[in-house]
Amino acid sequence: MRFLLLLLTVFSTKLSIISGLPDEGNDFETLFEEWLLKFDREYSSADERAKKMSIWIDNHEYIEKHNNQNPEPSYTLGHNQFSDLSQDEYHEYNNLGKHSSGIFENSEL
């Protein structure tokens, strides 16, 4: 009987902890909305908005993972006006591609 009571107590405690957790999807939505307002971003369609939010979430998770490392990293990351761009889109936006084939071929070090 004591075991059953202990099991019930543990189960109810875990259930209350789980039910008290925020809905992560809603938190991402709120954070994304705040970011949209801060950087004055608008999208032409619901599909584009969904795609950009997905990219933003991926970037947000990368930022959080980096900033929460143990030991603490020597620098921190944060959101900026490019947070809704994929890595490929960012490279294209800034003309960051591969160097032309002739840049280093003829130079002597």
Residue 31 predicted with pLDDT over 60: yes
Write out pLDDT tens, residues 37-58.
Answer: 999 999 999 999 999 999 999 9
Q: What pLDDT sits at residue 101?
A: 60
Write out pLDDT tens, residues 73-85.
Answer: 999 999 999 999 9
Domains and their CATH numbers in the chain: 24-93 (1.10.287.2250)
Sign of the CA dihedral with 64 first, then 70, 72, and 74 last: negative
CB under 8 A, 24+ apart: contacts of 88-97: 89/55
Q: Tell me the one-letter amino acid at 81.
A: Q
- pTM, two decimals, is 0.65
As a whole number of angstroms, the distance between CA 24 and CA 10 comes to 24
Copy the structure tokens of residue 10. Answer: 């543990």
